[in-house]
A and B are shown apart, each in its own frame.
Chain A
């Protein structure tokens, strides 16, 4: 678990990061704290864990890997997010390219930090 203001969770900016590689996910969370120092960051390493967090909490933004490990697992996280009331524009999918992704979901290539930072800024405006 990361973040500086636990008590602000459900109130202010809260971001869920989903990736099946724990090491890369921890680095992602550290990067996210550098980019959004006041956000409350939570992480999940699989679809089930992400779905449970999404059901239990209100997130401002969900960022998920597309392949976890099979291609398309990120779509299951997206479905859970939409079912819980999150708008598609508050979801960012990390992948080079995908099938069956709604137009309103932002797609960012996993290594493209500048594009990711811009997408986060746009989603949280």
Chain B
């Protein structure tokens, strides 16, 4: 790769077409809104939790005591409504930041009852980045109302770049934690095998879904050091995905495969990552969109003739 090309790949303020950011907003918003709808009873249920179990984290730390049940329900429903506005790009100057902040609040509130989960962090961070930028200048209801054509600009490129940076950093931090806490034993020893066996057994004892495949696999001790090294390469090597577009595509595929393996071995579903939308910012979405449009046009013509 030429140095100039690599430098170009590394640039933060690289220009991008507005459609790419608009499509990213629509994808992230669609996932976040469907996710909220799917988890609606769960999110609302925290209104009835006993106050003594309240252990606020992040921005919910502003509260001394839990919210009233009515307030919890209202906030969750408002977040869903704003999610629709975010996804369709309606009144985005208000709906974008409002949805990003409310989504952060609602998911933080759910994590504020004694156990912090880690399945929504990346989604919340990506929604925050996309919610505060001009992501509805095209492919949105706002753009349809204004009817103004926007051209390629760094204003549309840097938020996409920032989403990719945040994405790889979350993986890097996760990889670093394994080295920091587990050391060489995590890479070359039995830690991963024991973690997988223990997690599956714990779920089995609680009558939850677990992975019989993962449990069966733990008898082959020699498998786990290569698996641990592979996951460390994906996590600690994630920042390399920023250096080259093609490397970014490969890394996104590898990270997705990593999550598929986690489902198979531990029955833990990182739904956002599995959907692949978490990695959408690594791709030229507008090219895919034009292909879809072209294919639809071709089908319409074929049907007409």
Do A and B form a real pair? no
